[in-house]
Structure 1
Amino acid sequence: MVNVFKRMRKLKTKVKLPMNEYPTPLPFLQFFGKIAAASNAQILNVRVGTGAAIFPSATSATQEFPAITRLHLTYAQKIYGGHQGARHFWRNCLPRLKYHNPGLQMTVKQTQEQEGPAALTIYFAERASNAASLTAAKVEDKHAPAPESTEKTAVLDLKNLDYKEIWNKVKMVTGAQDVPATAEEEAELQKLEQMRQQSEKDRVRLAAIRQAKKDQERMLQEARGEIEKLKQL
């Protein structure tokens, strides 16, 4: 019998393909393409959406809206008892606010106290805005850091509010200016929505295929059972 390994060792020449003729590892590239797309979607989700806004700073503050120095959010770990909106505000809005206000300190306290406050403490430079003075809730948040001597605070009661309602309240009190999405970002959002819709269609289609396969297997099993019964007659 010919020893294949010996024959291979005796080969003096090696066949080389030009660089442009090597096969492309499509699955590998597609895998990393999906990772890149997911990463871009995450970044885009932080840049635009509810909470993508800029707070008044020392250079942009007005008589009506003083500069915002920091934020503190307190809410309970579980969503019942009116804490769902505060939790969603933390998940959806705070990352966007931090992205557009990178120098602003934001602290969060998640408690086990379902009967405790769901509150957002807003720290103003020197004085609170008129809107904050009028709408601030009579809620105490023992977890919020004490203000500095140059700060004034206003506490917003977030219980039983949707996160979008919370954001509207924050905008009214602080004078935050929304950062609109660019034309490129709008196009990317539309593309992502189309991908999401296609993914949902694919999910439904695959679920139908799996169900049809299960139904077919069940029918075959039932048919085999009937055949076995006939054999025993």
Structure 2
Amino acid sequence: MVSLPQRMRKLQTKLLAIRLGSGALVLPKDVKRIHMRFAQKIDGGHMGPRKFWRHELVRLKYHNPAVSMTIDRTASADDPALMSVHFAPADAPQTSEDSATSAPTPVTSTTQDSSPSSDTAAPTDRVQTIDMKHRTNSEILTELQRLTKAFPVEPTPEEREEIQMLEDHRVRSARDSKLSQEVRARQKREKELLEQARGDVASQAA
């Protein structure tokens, strides 16, 4: 049975993995929506978009809960893999809904091409697209950061300390596990030698 401290450390690690790492960016307030369209399968250059959706988009949404993020996976392998970034007009008034800390909107996944894209954007929106096909998830993230001028989230001193503490514990656990394996292997070998010696004695007595 896993102990409570072990469960807590596992939870801490998962929370840190969401808050920090690749995709932990704060988007400018003029970014209203991000829409991704790619194929369900990774063939034809759609692996990068899929990985971005699985990994980077989670952290991106965590730090930008008010930005609508929608996914359309109905594209075929031959179709383009596109990310549409919707910006508010330059003269649009800022409201409380534009804040990154306002009420979150969910990440929506669809199997129909009904999610917002550049073709269905409001006329006043400024939409720019990123060609994700045959690009890695890190390359897609770099292009998104360049396009939106988003800034990365840096760990706080407390988080750095927590990361170091978890890493120290991981190293100790790995070392202890290795020592335990060596002890068990030695005990097993000693048992085998003892059984062999007993067998030799028994055969000689016979």
What is the count of residue pairs matched by the alignment? 181
Deviation string, structure 1 residues 59-115 (Cα, Å, up to 9, x no partner): xxxxxxxx1111112333344433332222222221211121111111123348334
Residues 1-233 of structure 1: pairs in structure 2 closer than 5 A: 31-57=3-29, 67-111=30-74, 113-126=76-89, 143=113, 144-146=115-117, 147-149=120-122, 150-205=124-179
Sequence identity of aligned pairs in percent?
A: 33
CA distance in structure 2 between the partners assigned to 1:225 and 1:83 by the alignment: 63
TM-fit CA distance, 1:160: 2.7
Q: TM-score, normalised by structure 1?
A: 0.61
Q: Residues of 2 paired with 1:212 and 1:119: CA distance?
A: 57
CA distance, structure 2, for counterparts of residue 55 and residue 34 of structure 1: 35
CA-CA distance at 1:221 after TM superposition = 9.0
Structure with greater Cα Rg:
1
CA distance in 2, matches of 1:171, 1:47: 17
Partner in structure 2 of residue 19 of structure 1: none
Q: Secondary structure at the match of 1:121?
A: strand
Unaligned runs of 5+ in 1: 1-26, 58-66, 128-141
SS in 1 for 2:147: helix
Q: What's the secondary structure of 1:120's corresponding residue?
A: strand
The alignment's C-alpha RMSD in Å is 3.5
Contact preservation (8 Å) 2:48, 2:136: yes
1:95-145 deviations in Å (ceiling 9; x for gaps)? 211121111111123348334433322111237xxxxxxxxxxxxxx9452
CA shift, 1:184, in A, is: 1.0
Question: SS in structure 2 opposite 1:191?
Answer: helix
Rounded Cα–Cα distance in structure 1 between residues aligned with 2:191 and 2:75: 49
TM-score, structure 2 normalization: 0.67
**d(CA) in 1 for partners of 2:197 and 2:43?**
51
Distance 1:124 1:47 in 2: 24
Separation in structure 1 between the aligned mates of residue 185 and residue 133 of structure 2, nearest angstrom: 43
1:20 corresponding residue in structure 2: none
Q: Which moved more, 1:46-55 or 1:112-121?
A: 112-121
| Amino acid across the alignment from 1:180 | E
